[in-house]
Amino acid sequence: MKLKLPSWGLLVILLAAGVLIQLAIQLEVINAYWALVLTYMCIAVLSSLGLGIIYGFSGQFSLGHAAFMGLGAYTAALITRYAGVAPWSFAVALVGGMLLAGGVAWLVGLPILRLRSDYLGIATLGFGIIVRVLFENSDKLIPATAGARGMTGIEQPQFVFLWAFLLLLGAVLVARNLRFSSPGRALLSIREDETAANLMGIDVVRYKTIAFVLGCSFAGLAGGLYAHTFLFLHPSNFDFIKSFDPLLIVVLGGLGSITGTIVAGTAWVAVLEGLRLVLPSNILEWRYVIYPVLLIAMMLTRPQGLFGTSEAGVLVPKEETPPAPALETEVTADGAHP
């Protein structure tokens, strides 16, 4: 898929679109329900981009992503509880959530990231469950979180959709800049062949950590937005099962493809919500029967995902694929010429 628009032009168009949508929400041209859905699309894609960096770029199989979202969510919610939801305090809350998620990721990564892929998945799964158990008992330490009863009383900041949209754009930019850079290639090489990467001078542990911390920070940011969109937090929102959602999105879109994650994430929310509309209310439960069937069908027909490893042209910097030389100056059947 080659979409050759000048990048800056596209950025301006997207910004305008975001503002327009927010305006439509303010004027209630888009009703509250759809505002929620659109905001959730941004949140889901943002979180999935984080997993895309961890798993898509550096090949680390993490099944604890929802836990980091939860850490960001509760942190941000607690901060706005005391500081309010004015733009500056909301920003502080979101950053706080990101920092906590990233910090915990760093700590957890110290012992865990040296495990082999499948084992890393299991360890992160276990970590996710431990975090959920901690959330359920969190009211013993911080009563405001209300533990297993669920945290309420979260205020919604103004223009929360626009916040989510703009932060998503920022995240896409970060992921894209990382992908097409030397540290980004270091991450990819770890995914491709960790031992060979190590032997080519890549400090594997360091880069795995960078990817993990960055990816989990995205999850923390998404969590903070989630808290202030849905205004209610329950430990079960961040259970290990919820870690499958970003995983599905990343694989369906194509592991390592930012475009794929964006498209798949948007489609995933759209399909789930769309099914809610399309199905008559008496068979609404069929939503969760159809969804896994679609999933299985997708894997059986196109296991590499929608986009495989490719990106939309608009995301790829022009220096990325240098043109092959027009003239083969060293044309011989074999070997090199000094």
Please list every residue from 116 through 145 that binds other proteins, using CB under 8 A.
116, 118-119, 121-123, 125-127, 129-130, 133-134, 136-137
Asked if residue 70 lies in contact with residue 213, where contact means CB atoms within 8 angstroms, the answer is no
Query: Measured from the CB of residue 104, what is the shortest distance to other proteins in angstroms?
Result: 14
Distance separating alpha carbons of residues 77 and 135, to the nearest angstrom: 13
Any idea which residue has 């945290």 for tokens?
151
- Contact region with other proteins (CB under 8 A), list: 71-79, 84-92, 157-165, 295-303: 295-303
Distance separating alpha carbons of residues 237 and 227, to the nearest angstrom: 10
Per CB under 8 A, contacts with other proteins among 207-246 are: 210, 214, 240-241, 244
Cα→Cα distances 103→108, 113, 254, 333, Å: 9, 15, 28, 55
The neighbour count for residue 21, using CB atoms within 10 Å, is 19
Q: Check binding of 291 to other proteins (CB under 8 A).
A: yes
Asked if residue 242 lies in contact with residue 66, where contact means CB atoms within 8 angstroms, the answer is yes
The neighbour count for residue 209, using CB atoms within 10 Å, is 18
Asked if residue 189 lies in contact with residue 196, where contact means CB atoms within 8 angstroms, the answer is yes
Q: In the structure encoding, which two tokens stand for residue 182, read together?
A: 């030397």
Q: In the structure encoding, which two tokens stand for residue 216, read together?
A: 């989990």
Q: CB nearer to other proteins: give 179 or 228.
A: 179
Q: CB nearer to other proteins: give 40 or 61.
A: 61
Asked if residue 246 lies in contact with residue 254, where contact means CB atoms within 8 angstroms, the answer is no
Per CB under 8 A, contacts with other proteins among 1-60 are: none
Q: CB nearer to other proteins: give 52 or 157.
A: 52
Q: CB nearer to other proteins: give 16 or 199.
A: 199
Q: CB nearer to other proteins: give 160 or 211.
A: 211
Cα→Cα distances 184→29, 57, 152, Å: 42, 8, 40
Taking CB under 8 A as the criterion, the residue among 138, 189, 259, 261 binding other proteins is: 189
Query: Measured from the CB of residue 119, what is the shortest distance to other proteins in angstroms?
Result: 6
Q: Site for other proteins (CB under 8 A): how many residues?
A: 81
Per CB under 8 A, contacts with other proteins among 260-289 are: 285-286, 288-289
Q: CB nearer to other proteins: give 144 or 299.
A: 299
Site string for other proteins, 73-112 (x = CB under 8 A): --------------------------------------xx
